[in-house]
A and B are shown apart, each in its own frame.
Chain A
Amino acid sequence: MQDWISVALPKGRLGEKAYDLFERIGYGCPSIREDNRKLIFENEEARVRYFWAKPSDVSIYVERGAADVGVAGKDILLEYAPDVYELNDLKMGRCRMMVAGQPGALEETGRTLRVATKFPRIAAKHFAAQSREIEIIKLNGSIEIAPLLGLSDVIVDIVETGTTLKENGLIPLEEVVPISARFIANRVSYKFKNERMREMQERIGALIAEKQ
């Protein structure tokens, strides 16, 4: 009897795209497409189980072994540094972590730079590498408004198209790190369910190589 594999998917568009990928490589679970109130979806035959989680929680489920594998953005992995294996770059959900602000916002080097962000760890590391003194203002959403109201000088946030920035009179100033979705695995599950997890990793790798 094969081991079950539990997969934590991030709610939203990225999770749906990731599920499409799993389906294409033989881990489909048709019930997930039905719009119902179920939380966990199982395919008895493929012995695979899916559930949706808040994107920032996926790595927690995987780290603690409640899910064997999962899909998480590199932003989450950098910010929370969960102790998991990062097996593949899925090359989807691509975007960039950027420093943004009003034009010239970084040039005022004479005083402490105020940085508003949802990602304090990433922001701190980025500016520490430049030896620049900053003050981090942790916000939980609508980061773009902070420089407009004078709450911060710049923001560190994910930029996909830059439209939101432009509409608010902000521009991208520096790239922090490129972001994409990663296939992550629990360290202990990877050992006990090695054959199945490796098969999954290899099929994902093959599909991504083929797409390129």
Chain B
Amino acid sequence: MIGPSLDTARQLLADLPPAPAAWCSGLRKRYRKQIAVDGVSFTVGRGEVVGLLGPNGAGKTTVIKMLLGLVRPDAGEVLLLGRPSGDPRSRARVGYLPELFRYQPWLTAAEVLALHVRLAGVVVPEQERRECLATVGLADRARDRVGGFSKGMQQRLGLAVALVARPDLVILDEPTSALDPVGRADVRDLLLVLKERQVAVLLNSHLIGEVERVCDRVVILDKGRVSASGTLAELLGQREVRLRLDGVSAAAEARLAAAGQLTRSGDAFTVALPAEQDTAMVPDLVADLVGLGVRVHAVEPGRISLEQRLLDILRADTNADTNGDRS
């Protein structure tokens, strides 16, 4: 009797979706009188790239350190890859590049990687470790002592350390702070490769353009709280396309309205596009309009940038605080 029910239970467990790469709930941290983090909750799904944005002092680095067990939260819970953060094994498949990246100056780059592989408890052949160094552009510096590295090179080494133990989750805290434009482009490519490999990434960066390009979702922190979070489409609202047209017949207007919600002011037409639009939608629309005898003067994608949205959110927070103080 017990056998089949146990099997069923096992099957049920096996069929459960894997636990999220990172999950935190109600994280709170106070440094003396200063509240650094106040009730932060979010999830990083498996294979998902999540950006952590916010002004200086918003608590981003503290949140990251609490996820990794480097800072003890006053309240709240953390699960990494399904295990509570109090259990060191929760970090077995996690790679981390700290904001303050420093590695043993008396070791060579190759020795630093070997050390981290050993601490992670995995076996990574030397060839793979060398490839990891090559990925971050340090192939020819493997035998050099870290003490002689520039800041940019140390940050590249930090990326290699974060990636070397075959992680399922990579946490990068300002990974491009010391890098030149080429280095930043390299990091962006690296993030896209991780995304392709279904490695989850939590990325804290001030370079909003990068975040916008690679992240599936964004969490915006301000004054230790989550101000907003969601997919880029959710945060930035629907996309729209603005057109300047003349010779618009009733049939052409009907075609425009069929594409999405239409607003018109003189010769300016704005069509709100659905969130999951296919890329052929706008060219098809323009071709049809031309076919209907419409003269097309301009077609502009209308979408506010993440930067603009971020500034709006942060300013709204500040205004709310000032009004709150007054009342």
Judge: A and B partners, yes or no.
no
Task: Show the binding face of B for A, using Cβ within 8 Å.
Answer: none
